[in-house]
Amino acid sequence: MSKIAIFGANGTIGSRVLDEALRRGHQVTAVVRDPAKITKTDPNLAVTTGDILDPASVAAAAQGQDVLVSAVGGGDGPGHIATIKPAAESLVAGLRTLGEAAPRLISVGGAGSLRTPDGKQVWDAEGLPEFLLQIMHAHGDALDFYRTVTDVRWTNLSPAGLIEPGERTGTYRTALDDLVTDADGTSRISAEDYAVALLDEVEKPQHIGERFTVGY
């Protein structure tokens, strides 16, 4: 079993990653700004305070862990711009201070930069509201940064075009930079099955140093 620290463990995706990790018997540390927001109790769960935008705090949370998961969001568009790439930079800076003892990093990415069947990217679709474009490009900027990093073992996991709470089926398909769609052209994944894919990557690494995506 692995020791996993999760930033953003009280969010929509982070909470499901936490649940899936505990379900599999891993030792989990939830790293949050307000520990009172984590009400779940489990013998394998610890809760600590941390600031993902502070490299020293990142290093403290990552010390002794096997995997560090970033599931932070930014709320609205400007919030994502202020959070997502700066968080990526802080995570890498903090992990670098640990040298070879640094855990793997798996970060929740976005779908905007994925290629669509027409050869464009999701964020090129007409009519997307500005706040959504800001969120998409914030994740895209973070991914661009990760792709310059060679001294930290990172993985960026983009969701399908639509991700929302739903059923845990345990089944999904993966791709690297192409949007995963079903026979009807719909791209979707439940937050629960996204968490399954993320924990599968924790247990059997396939995508160190790259982005991949999941969908039905």
Per-residue pLDDT of the chain in tens (216 residues, 90 and over written 9): 999 999 999 999 999 999 999 999 999 999 998 999 899 999 999 999 999 999 999 999 999 999 999 999 988 999 999 999 999 999 999 999 999 999 999 999 999 999 999 999 999 999 999 999 999 999 999 999 999 999 999 999 999 999 999 999 999 999 999 999 999 999 999 999 999 999 999 999 999 999 999 999
Looking at the structure of the chain, the number of domains it has is 1
Q: Look up the CATH number of the domain holding residue 43.
A: 3.40.50.720
* Rounded Cα–Cα distance for residues 85 and 50 (Å): 17
| Domain range for 83 | 3-215
